[in-house]
Structures are given as structure tokens and as C-alpha cells.
Structure 1
């Protein structure tokens, strides 16, 4: 068979088949399912009786009656309401009014009455609150049941020896069916469109019933993340405005721009052969720009973000616990469709060995060794690409620096009116790096999937978890490595005039130096270009690509009247929502989370950019899921899975990166408290103090004068000439002390907050206990009632 499609809705599933092959399509008409109660026949009686728009496809529509739904709801232990909740509604969360702008009004949310729930029992229909059998089970439960049946539907002939031929997944893999999906419901479509147009982050109950808990938990997490970003964005904006308003109080920038100080300081050439001397005040604009992001507010914001990320993760655990109760997932066990064996595992895993302890067949260890070697190889390739970008930076840095005039009495001829060679190099290298990242993304996605396929994971859940770790590892190195270079390596291994350090030691590419104002502005540039570029490109790609593909795929149908273009044909022309559909949504948000936590000290406006992006993201995702993709089969999920542990790891790592960020705050504080003249705690004279002297004998450019460079070394003629001064060691000790103290303080606050905030709210615990008590009491009374009724 070819090009068969299954669709579910009130018509639960539909299959399309080529006309000439319909006669052999026995699996479409009948299959028997073994359940605990015996063999239950499930009929698929309705085959569309005429060729459709493409002239060669039939659709088989699957209906599920009440008896089927009730039987499998019993088998799957689906929780349904049996009594109205009598526990008073919880009180408003403190400061809950702050989230009002992000939430839909009640008349749109349409909250339903709260009920106590119990696993469905077909033998005790009267025990449950069943008003209408047609609407008792929500759409997400109905298509979950249908998929559960189809996943176990045998399609072998009665006289066949192969009894393992069962499941819609295998039929899709071998090409019997082209697709299997539920139909979109026009009524629920209106709910989702309302959610889309409102552009809020709250989750309507109709959306949960329509898509199920797995997609629901994604939207709930994205909404909560966006709400919490609001606070980080406000504080970040305040810190940025502080840097902007204290512009005129910046003493060290004034000294750089001053003709008396910066205009009389001649700096060493930035490259060996073609570069000339330059005046310090040529970097005036760069120093002012740097002050907006490198000030006292930066230190405060770094500490704040260390606490914010802890509050975000801890409050999300509480929100998640509340959702588990509200969505009847307290006693959740992984879905059967997630834990069942993958067809690829059964087909490919031919050579296995028995584990003597667990008595379970496992893969040979050679496969794991090959996988590890492959991962190491591709990570090495990423690092090689980063080294290539660094080499480019050094070459372009030298090229831009050579634009300067050779005369030490003139200012630099800048690349632009507002940027220095260092900043010009950073901008162009960041743009090239962004392009490389986007190209490598496509490559690494395929590599991660290929490596995971090589491992042949047993279940779908295991497959997703392994792919999640590999993909994040690749993306972490791909996106963040260039930022780590600028933050922690650039300007740290430069050397001194006459003894510079070169890339690899033997090349002619001299390591980059930072501006006299520091490297933080270059890290900010790198972060803005990569982060903002990724978000803009991601939203365009998410919205435009599916729309274009659907427009092109449905071009033939547009020539037919609307009455001839059936609902199942319209849905079939949409893009397939794969089992990794949510994976890429989570990956995009987790990479963004890394940007706003790992390097946020260099760019306080990063949370604001993330907030604006997420407001658009929730719109795009809602529109995309409803109008551009086939409706996915509903699935249960009580958490965000492996992403939770990744977020925890990034949060811990961010504390270290933010307290060791590339900033000149520590050298300035050391100068102000220990080396400031007259002990007046001012920054006067800081620039002259932070620059060391070098004689022209060490400079390849033949100009007879002394020049300055950024370091703390003794001047020529001193008995310890060109060795580090005591101030250098004081600054180093202060940096280490700051890192250790602030790291411990932030971690202590982090763990104290985590300890103080329970993962499960007390109200939820009370509701769970109350529900379990009522279930036991009601079941007892029900059995007594039935017994008395039987006796009479």
C-alpha cells in the first residue's frame, strides 16, 4: 500500500489509499485487539467511496463508539470526575496582580468547575458524573484511546507465521499508510485562535482538552517563563538606565576623552608590521559605550540574576505540582505509547546480548563506544570552527588596526565614527559567526539524530531523552563558545611589547587585546548579534516555512470548490507534526535561557529582548500548531522531561560565569580603595595608573618614543622591569576573593531559597489527600448501595 492516511476526530481516524491497491488493504477494515477482558473487535467501516482531488487516493474514516471509549478508558485508568470539589478555592498568590497583563480574562479562559476525579471503571458508570456520553471524554482523551488501539492493531493474516505484525507505527514506517493524525476540530480551533489573538501567556482549558497534557505543559512552561522574564527585564532595564544616566559621572571615560590626558598618551601598535602608534583618546566613544554596560549596576544585576534563576526554577516546580493535580497527573506513569518498543529497535537490534543481572537483552558495548567517539569527533569539529573564527578575528583585527596613521601626533582614522578596530572586528566576526552557527545547526541536528539512531534506543521516551542531551551539547558549544572566548580568554593572553603571544605560538597572528575601556562592550556586541539574530531568524523560519510548504502543497486543491475540499483533505495537506515537534520548541527556549543567564551581566537588556521575543513566540506557536500542522495525537506529560535537569545545570553554571564575567569593576575598586591619590576614594588618575610603559626598543615600528599598553608591569629601567607590579597581584587576589565570596553568597541564597520554598504547595497536598479519602469513602458507599439494591 502507498499514501495511506489515518485521521481521527468525531470521525476518529481516516486512512487514504491508492485506488488500485484498496483491495489488499485488509488492515483498514478489521483488526482485533487483545485486552485484559478478552478479544475486542474494532471495526473501521467507512471508506470514502470515490477518488479525491489527487485522483488516486481513498480515505478510511474511523469512528469510536461509546462502548469502545468506555472499555479503553477502563484499561488505561483514565481519571474522570465523580464529585464536585468542596475545598475552598486557594487564595491569590502575593503580588499576583503583577501577572494580570499576561493573562486572559475569565470570559475567554472559560474556567470549568473543579471536580474530584477517579480512574474510570466501566462497571460503575453510575459512580461518575456523566451528563452526556458524547462529550464526557474530551477530544484529547478520545484520540489518545484511538491511537492506543491502532498501536496494537494486528495486521497479519490468520494463516501467517509472523505474529509480530501489529501497530500503526509499523504500517507508517513500511509505507502502508502515508500518515495518521486526528482531525482538527473547528470549534476548538476558535478557542485556539482566541488564545492566539489575545497574545497572552495563560492556558485556556479548551486548549488543554484539545491538544492534551504534553503540549499543554509546554505552553504552561513557556507562559510561566515569560511571566518571570518580566521581572528580570524590568531590573535589567533599570540597570541599563543607571549606566545611561551616570554617563557624565564616569571619570575614567572623561580621562580617556580628555586632550590633556588621553590626547597625550601614545599607545603601542596593535599589530607588528603595518600598524602605527595611536592616541588613547581615539577610543573615546568606545569607553562611553562600555560604561553603559560596565558599571556598579552590572555587579548588582549579576547577583540578582543568580537569585532570579533560582526563584524561576523553584516557583516552576510549584506551578508544575499544581498543574499535575489540576490535570490529574499526580499518580502519573509514563504513557504506554512512550514506553512501547520502537519499530526501529525491533528491526535493527538483531545482535544483542543478555544482561546477567537484569536478564534483559541489551546492545553490545561496542555501539556505545562508537557513539561516544562520534560525539567527541563532532564536538572537536565545532571547536575547530571556533578556532577558525578566532583566526579570522585576529587577521581582521590587524587589518583594521593598520588603517591608523603612523604619526603619533594624529588621531586614528577610525573604521567608523563610533567604532574602534577592536569593535569593528567584533561586529564583523559576530556576524560571520552567526552565519556559521546557522549553517552548523542544520548539520548538527542531522548528526545528533544519526548518532541517536545508531544507539537504537528501546522506547520513544529513551530516544527523546538521549537526543535531548546530544542536541543541547552540540548547541551549547555552537552558540556559546564564541561568547566564552570573548568573556574569558580575549585579552588575557596577550603578553607585552617585545614578548607578545601568538596564536599556536608559531603563527604571525598576535592575540587580540581589549580596548582600554575593557572587553565587555565586545561581549555585549557578540551577545546582541547572536541572540537577537537567532530570535528573529527563528520566528521567521517557524512562521514562513510551514506556510510556504502548505501553500505549495495545497495549490491543486485551490482549483476545486470548497465543498469538494473535505476536512480530512485539508488537514492532510498540512505539515506533519512529528514526535520531535515539541523538542525543537524546547531547544529554542533553553538556548535563549542560556543567553539570558550565562552572560547576562554583559548585557542587562537581554531579558527584555527575550520577553519581547516570547510574546511573539507564543503567538507563532499557537498559530502554527492550529493552522499549519496536522493535529498531533494527544499525549500525557507531567513535566518538561530532561529539559528540567538541563535548566538546573545551566542555572548553576550561570552563577560561576556571572561572578567571573569580563569586567573592569574589580581593578577600578582596587584602585579607588588602595591606590587613589590623597585617599579621597575617587577614580581620578585611574587611566594613567592602569597603563604600563614600554620603550620603542621593543617595538618593530621605528619611532623613538615611549608608549603605553594595558597591563600592570614595572617600567623599563626598573630592577624588575616588565615583571608584574604588586598592584597586579592585589587585583588578582581581589578578583579571586570576589569570585569565591560572591559565588558562595549566591549559592547560599540559591539553596536557602530552594529549601524555603516547598516543591508542592500545601494546598495541593491537602487536595490530594482529600481526593484520596473521598474516593475510598465513595467507593465503599457505592458498593454498599449496590449490595443493598441487589438484596432487595
Structure 2
């Protein structure tokens, strides 16, 4: 038998620091609960031949781990364990027949259903260690890490192998030992790291394509005629533009945006359209290939027939404590508490918070822009020297506003987390699975608004509802003095790129520091007293107690971090093709940081099963569909691609198609004397240009949109329709073409079910023959007392 450790620190007992309770779990007890939980165990070695080696497989050899680490166990056909058919299964060693994660889960299953007693009376319906932890009877309960000397006898040094081949930062280019992770931590954690590793692998292809598009922008840098005209002192230097805000903003020359126009060309070029379409197809390939990988893991980890009924029927202690109403559960035939807060009230609270946050972010950005414009109005056309680069006031405003916005995002993120948990607690979900699903949707919705609202504003609202000089539009009316922002002549794409880069990179840096530094500091602070004791008195359970507790939300936050990153590289990737490259570098580090935390900084979590990544899969599908729409709108309305193409093929002058004259064509003339004095700067030059397509003063349709404006709008809408239909058709075709479950896995599942049925049939037949034979032989003993006869001799010979 094996020693299974369950450490429980009682804070109500005078013996607060009790020694570890080492319960000797016999093979019979293991077999009993393995039968109850229907745990699959091997009954026959797999006879399906392995796939043929790829001729170029030697190229991947440097990225592979030793075979005994990647496949710690042979390949078997498995079937649900049945205690009455022990000799049917392949049991070579009773002590190591059940892996550590299975033993872990069996102990947890027993403890969650063990009844406890109160001093005054017996309450049979009050059971489980969860309730005792929740009401404060015990402070903690956790399994120990496998580093005790006793486990060396059974060759179960799984933690050592995980630390060496998985958590080491020098192994960043190696594959993950997923089977070993599953064996030690359970299937739920194993599925997370399998998904994270697969996501990182797929990011490599998106990163390569993004780098190619960026290199194309660099190589075509000198062919950018539009930026040359803006920077030309005889063209852009002679155009004085209208103020970008009321009173506080001054006149500015067009060539002051020279640097931002060159920077915009790096991301706003012909390659942007191709990359946006590529990412729409990449998302589909990622999700479809992950379904295939997930189906393969389901089979290899015996999760094909796994149902989460046990999780669905496991009542949360908070549910029974807070709910007093009772109703009959049709599944368990037991009376259970009724739900507390109405879901509609929760949805109303979420909607109010989301609307308030969106309006607050927009008002914040307008106020910051006006403040910076007021500071810089004394030098409207000046340029600031910073780190060897020329930065215009507009770019400086965008960068600083994005940085301040990121700080606010971190603060709101902290508040959103508590609000989401509070609302979910008020709903009083019945089971842990229901609680996790509800919290997942709320947290993602809050995080979606928090991280993406500023990007959505820059991409789809800034510069779209400005009006024109003398008739500007305001966010909350003229009394607010918050005039809607305008885009630079090169469009708002460079500002969206800046916003995306700062928020995404900042989130990744802060997240990595928090994940690596905070657990280390907390563990050091908590183990100061323990480390002063000799090793003989600083027991294993005390060392594990000083580690950080891996809560039920541990994987939830890991998934949330990666899904938010997935949104950055898909929803707005048309504005920043290098986003997948940043995500790739972050995820390579993320895998090793998480592995290091699990092996050295966290207590060993209770093993749990899960077939897939849960509600996150549906969220990824929604983000994937939404990303096609957002990228199409970014190319059409945020970038300057469509207006340039319309000018190139419809409005250019001369026999040869060229972009010369585009800047002059994209600006409109206005009589500055018609602007109210309250909106004009205190002093300045006499401007007459603004960015729009409107008729000049004196025309019968003065200040109304020209026909070119409607041509460009029609071209934008046509591009959106064409791009969405092309990408969606390819997406659906790829999704139809690639089956969710590989044919090989389907064949193995069918063969395994066939073998289970056949072997069980043969087993039962042989068992029945043996029973009948024994019974028949007993009857012949009586027949032997009878007189001799031919039939008697025949019966005795058959018995023999």
C-alpha cells in the first residue's frame, strides 16, 4: 500500500501545529473508491502500431525530451475499474497501480463526503472538509508534494523530473512533459498547459507572418509619397491646419505630423490587408487544430466518456449556508436550497458598470488631450527631442495618455475583480462548476471592457464624429467643452498601434513580475520562522504549508490572462502586425514561470478531471468571429488605405497612377472668419484647411460632403463586405474540411470499446464455465456413490 498525506491544521484546537496525519490506504480501499469513481485502468497493452517516423523528424530532435519523461507509462487499452473483476485488469504492482493524481483525487473524494459531528447534535446532511474549511474549523487541507524519502522506494520522483525538464528556464525551447504533468497534477491542470503550449506553437506562424508584413513596410519606406509631401516644407510646411480643440489648441502646420506619418506607413500599407485576412484564417486553424489535439488528449487521458456529473451534483457550502428555501432536486431526489439573487438583476448591474466604464474612458481621453494641448499651445509647431527621436505634440499626447490609461486599467481591473466575485456570490450558485462558469463570463466581460474600450474608441470613434470648423460636435454638448478628437492626416492607425502596444506590453510585463516575484516574496516571508529550525523538525507538511495556496481560481486567472492576450492579437492585429511576436515571447516565458510556480512556490493542488478548457472555448470562438469584423473595420475606417486607393484609381491627375497630390486632395478649405471667437485660439496664423471631404465656402453646397466622400464611404463598405465574406467562407470551409476528432483517434476509440466488450464477454464466459465446472464436479461426487454405469463413467471423465 501507499502512504497518502492529508494535512489539516486545526485552529480551534490547543494543538494547533499537529503532526501530519499519515493514513495507510490499503489496496482494498483504493479499489473500492476506484470502482465508485469509475476510474479507467489498463486491461490490455495497445496493439495499434505507432505512426511512422517522418523523414525529417531529426530536425525536431533538439526540441524533444527523453522518451521516459514524455511517456512515463506504456500505451494501454483501458476500461472502468470494477472491484469484482480485479483479475481482468493488468495489475503488475499493487503499490503503483493507481498514479499519484488518482490517489490524490480518491482521498479528496473521501474527505468531501465524510460526515462531521457537532457537540449538541448529529447532522447527517453536513459533510465534507470543504464546509469545515469554509466555517473556519480548519485552516487548510492539502496533499503533499512527492519529495519524501518514502516515495523513492516506489520510484515516484515525478516532482524532480518536472522541475528538471519542465520548470527549468533553459528548457524554454523544449516540449512540455504533458503526460507527467497529468500524472502528478491531474487532467484539469494538464489540459491548461496543453492548451497554452499549443497556443504558443501556433503563435509562431502568426509571428513570422507579422514580421514579414512589418519588413515589407520598412522596405517600402522610401516609396511613401504621401509622407514625403507631408514632410516637404514647400507642401506640408505651407499648410496651416485648424485647431484640434477649442481655445486651448493653437494652429499647427501639416509638416508637424511628419514623423507620425512615416511611423504610420510601417503598419498602414498594402500588407496590412493581407495580414488581416491571414489572421482571420489563422484563428480558425488554431481553434480547429486545438479541437483535434484536445480530442487526442481526451482519448490518451481516458476522458472520452468522462462526465462532470459529480461536479454538478457537488453543492457549495456557501449555497447551503446562505439559502434557506428548499426544493426537490430531480436528479438526486434530495431537498436543496433555492437560488438567491435574480440573474436579471445581476445582468442589469453588469450593464450599468460596462456603460459607465466606457463613458469614463472616453471622457478621460478627451480631458487628457485638452490638458496636453494647453501645455503645448505656446509652441504649436515645435518638436521635442526625446531619446534621439522627434516626437510631435500629438504623438506625445497619445503616448502619455496611453500610459496613464494603462494605470487606470490596472486600478479598474482590481475593482472589477471584486465586483464580479461580489455579484457571483450574491447569485449563490449551487455547484462549483456553475460558480466558475458564471464568474468566467462576468470577469471576461469586465476585462473585455477594461482592456479593449480605449482601443475600440481610437479605432472606431475617434475622428469619426468631429463635424467641421464652425459646427464641431461635442461629447456631452457644448457646455462640457470636450470636443470630439480628430485624427492626424495619416489617420488614427498609429495612435491605435501606440495604444495597443502600451497596454498589451504593459500588461505582460506587470503580469510576469506579479507571477514571478509576489509568490517568491510571500513564501520567503511566511517561511522565515520555519527555515530557522533544523531540517529534522521542519517537516515536509510544514514546508508545504509555508507555500502559497493554489486556490480554486488559480487556473481561472491563468486562462483569463491568456484569453485577454488572444483578444489583443486578433481583434486589433491589423494595426500592429508585431503583436503576435510579443505574445510569442511572453508565452514562452509564461510556460516556464507557471511551471516554476507549480513545482516550487505552490502547494500541490487537489487533482481534478476536465475534458476541455470549459467555457473559455466558447469565448475564444466568439472572439475569433468578432476579430474578422473588427479587423475589416480597422482597415476600412481607421487606416487610410481605402481613401488612398480611391484617389489612386479614380481621382488622381495625370496619365500614370500615382499618389502625388493626395494630401491636397484629402483636405478641405474653410473661411476661418466664420468660426465663433469663443472657439478660436488667442492668436495665430490664418489657417484655412481641415481634414475632410467638403465643398469650399462660396459653393452652392458649401461645407456639405463632396461626391468623393460618398465614393470613399461606398468603397469602405464594399471592402468590409468583401473581406468578411471571403474570410468567413474560408473559415467555414476550413472548419468543415478539418474534422474535430482525428480518424486515428476515432478508430482507437472504436477498437477499445470493441475490445472491452469482447474481453469482458470472454471473461464472464470463462468465469461462468469455471463456476459450472466446479458445481458439476461436486454433483459427480454424489454420483460416484451410485452403482457403476456407462453414463456414470462418461460424467466422471468430463469432470476430469
Instruction: Specify if TM > 0.5.
Output: yes
Aligned residue among 341, 344, 347 for 2:321: 347
Aligned partner of 1:48 in structure 2 is none
Question: Structure 2: how far apart are the matches of 1:180 and 1:366?
Answer: 31
Structure 1: unaligned runs, 5 residues or longer: 1-7, 23-54, 406-410
* 1:609 aligns to 2:582 (yes or no): yes
Aligned partner of 2:672 in structure 1 is 696
Aligned partner of 1:52 in structure 2 is none
* 1:71 aligns to 2:44 (yes or no): no
* 1:219 aligns to 2:219 (yes or no): no
Going from structure 1 to structure 2, the CA distance change for 1:443 and 1:19 (only over 3 Å counts) comes to closer
Aligned partner of 1:248 in structure 2 is 222
What displacement does 1:305 show? 0.4
Going from structure 1 to structure 2, the CA distance change for 1:756 and 1:96 (only over 3 Å counts) comes to farther
What displacement does 1:89 show? 1.9
- The question of whether the paired residues in 1 share the 8 Å contact of 2:11 and 2:137 is answered with no
Aligned partner of 2:651 in structure 1 is 675
Question: Structure 2: how far apart are the matches of 1:357 and 1:153?
Answer: 21
Question: Structure 2: how far apart are the matches of 1:429 and 1:18?
Answer: 50
* 1:386 aligns to 2:361 (yes or no): yes
Question: Structure 2: how far apart are the matches of 1:566 and 1:617?
Answer: 31
- The question of whether the paired residues in 2 share the 8 Å contact of 1:18 and 1:57 is answered with no
- The question of whether the paired residues in 1 share the 8 Å contact of 2:35 and 2:82 is answered with yes
Question: Structure 2: how far apart are the matches of 1:119 and 1:14?
Answer: 30
* 1:493 aligns to 2:493 (yes or no): no
- The question of whether the paired residues in 1 share the 8 Å contact of 2:493 and 2:639 is answered with yes
- The question of whether the paired residues in 2 share the 8 Å contact of 1:64 and 1:146 is answered with no
Aligned partner of 2:495 in structure 1 is 522
Aligned partner of 1:13 in structure 2 is 6
Going from structure 1 to structure 2, the CA distance change for 1:383 and 1:99 (only over 3 Å counts) comes to farther
Aligned partner of 2:395 in structure 1 is 423
Going from structure 1 to structure 2, the CA distance change for 1:365 and 1:574 (only over 3 Å counts) comes to closer
Aligned partner of 2:712 in structure 1 is 731
Q: How does 1:730-749 map to 2 (within 5 A)?
A: 730-749=711-730
Aligned residue among 504, 508, 513 for 2:476: 504
Aligned residue among 58, 61, 70 for 2:22: 61
Aligned residue among 260, 284, 287 for 1:310: 284
Going from structure 1 to structure 2, the CA distance change for 1:659 and 1:714 (only over 3 Å counts) comes to same
Q: How does 1:458-473 map to 2 (within 5 A)?
A: 458-473=430-445
Aligned partner of 1:32 in structure 2 is none
* 1:119 aligns to 2:90 (yes or no): no
Question: Structure 2: how far apart are the matches of 1:612 and 1:731?
Answer: 39
- The question of whether the paired residues in 1 share the 8 Å contact of 2:3 and 2:22 is answered with no
What displacement does 1:653 show? 0.5
Question: Structure 2: how far apart are the matches of 1:93 and 1:554?
Answer: 50
Aligned partner of 1:444 in structure 2 is 416
Task: After superposition, give the CA deviation of every residue in 1:294-315 in whole Å (9 maximum; x if it has no partner).
Answer: 0011111100000000000011
Question: Structure 1: how far apart are the matches of 2:544 and 2:330?
Answer: 49
Going from structure 1 to structure 2, the CA distance change for 1:647 and 1:101 (only over 3 Å counts) comes to farther
What displacement does 1:425 show? 1.5
Aligned residue among 382, 407, 427 for 1:412: 382
What displacement does 1:698 show? 3.1
What displacement does 1:111 show? 4.9
- The question of whether the paired residues in 2 share the 8 Å contact of 1:11 and 1:64 is answered with yes
Aligned residue among 49, 54, 59 for 1:88: 49
* 1:196 aligns to 2:196 (yes or no): no
Question: Structure 1: how far apart are the matches of 2:68 and 2:27?
Answer: 31
What displacement does 1:498 show? 1.4
Aligned partner of 1:144 in structure 2 is 105
* 1:546 aligns to 2:519 (yes or no): yes
- The question of whether the paired residues in 2 share the 8 Å contact of 1:73 and 1:145 is answered with yes
Going from structure 1 to structure 2, the CA distance change for 1:550 and 1:692 (only over 3 Å counts) comes to same
Task: After superposition, give the CA deviation of every residue in 1:608-640 in whole Å (9 maximum; x if it has no partner).
Answer: 000000000001100111111110010000000
Task: After superposition, give the CA deviation of every residue in 1:303-355 in whole Å (9 maximum; x if it has no partner).
Answer: 00000000000110010000000000111111624531111111111135679
- The question of whether the paired residues in 2 share the 8 Å contact of 1:659 and 1:739 is answered with yes
SS in 2 for 1:582: helix
- The question of whether the paired residues in 2 share the 8 Å contact of 1:394 and 1:510 is answered with no
Question: Structure 1: how far apart are the matches of 2:233 and 2:176?
Answer: 57
Q: TM-score, normalised by structure 2?
A: 0.89
Q: How does 1:592-603 map to 2 (within 5 A)?
A: 592-603=565-576
Going from structure 1 to structure 2, the CA distance change for 1:364 and 1:570 (only over 3 Å counts) comes to closer
Aligned partner of 1:206 in structure 2 is 180
Question: Structure 2: how far apart are the matches of 1:586 and 1:100?
Answer: 30
Question: Structure 2: how far apart are the matches of 1:253 and 1:9?
Answer: 74
Going from structure 1 to structure 2, the CA distance change for 1:785 and 1:332 (only over 3 Å counts) comes to same
- The question of whether the paired residues in 1 share the 8 Å contact of 2:232 and 2:255 is answered with yes
What displacement does 1:706 show? 4.7
Aligned residue among 374, 394, 409 for 1:399: 374
What displacement does 1:203 show? 3.2
Question: Structure 2: how far apart are the matches of 1:153 and 1:599?
Answer: 52
Aligned partner of 1:165 in structure 2 is 126
SS in 2 for 1:677: coil
Q: TM-score, normalised by structure 1?
A: 0.90
RMSD: 2.4
- The question of whether the paired residues in 1 share the 8 Å contact of 2:382 and 2:392 is answered with no
Task: After superposition, give the CA deviation of every residue in 1:645-704 in whole Å (9 maximum; x if it has no partner).
Answer: 000000010000000001110000000110111242211111111111112213435667
Structure 2: unaligned runs, 5 residues or longer: 148-156, 775-800
Going from structure 1 to structure 2, the CA distance change for 1:303 and 1:789 (only over 3 Å counts) comes to same
Going from structure 1 to structure 2, the CA distance change for 1:718 and 1:605 (only over 3 Å counts) comes to same
User: Which stretch has the larger CA shift, 92-101 or 612-621?
Assistant: 92-101
- The question of whether the paired residues in 2 share the 8 Å contact of 1:494 and 1:512 is answered with yes
Going from structure 1 to structure 2, the CA distance change for 1:63 and 1:447 (only over 3 Å counts) comes to farther
Going from structure 1 to structure 2, the CA distance change for 1:9 and 1:579 (only over 3 Å counts) comes to farther
Q: How does 1:367-378 map to 2 (within 5 A)?
A: 367-378=342-353
- The question of whether the paired residues in 2 share the 8 Å contact of 1:266 and 1:278 is answered with yes
User: Which stretch has the larger CA shift, 494-503 or 425-434?
Assistant: 494-503
Question: Structure 1: how far apart are the matches of 2:632 and 2:295?
Answer: 32
SS in 1 for 2:10: strand
Task: After superposition, give the CA deviation of every residue in 1:74-131 in whole Å (9 maximum; x if it has no partner).
Answer: 1111000111111122356999888777653535424532110011111212211111
Q: How does 1:626-641 map to 2 (within 5 A)?
A: 626-641=599-614
Q: How does 1:33-52 map to 2 (within 5 A)?
A: none
- The question of whether the paired residues in 2 share the 8 Å contact of 1:483 and 1:527 is answered with yes
What displacement does 1:179 show? 0.9
Aligned partner of 1:750 in structure 2 is 731
Going from structure 1 to structure 2, the CA distance change for 1:302 and 1:18 (only over 3 Å counts) comes to closer
SS in 1 for 2:96: helix
Going from structure 1 to structure 2, the CA distance change for 1:704 and 1:245 (only over 3 Å counts) comes to closer
Question: Structure 2: how far apart are the matches of 1:687 and 1:94?
Answer: 56
Task: After superposition, give the CA deviation of every residue in 1:437-474 in whole Å (9 maximum; x if it has no partner).
Answer: 11111111111111111111111100000000000000
Aligned partner of 1:687 in structure 2 is 663
What displacement does 1:221 show? 0.2
Q: How does 1:319-358 map to 2 (within 5 A)?
A: 319-334=293-308, 336-337=310-311, 339-351=313-325
* 1:618 aligns to 2:591 (yes or no): yes
SS in 2 for 1:590: helix
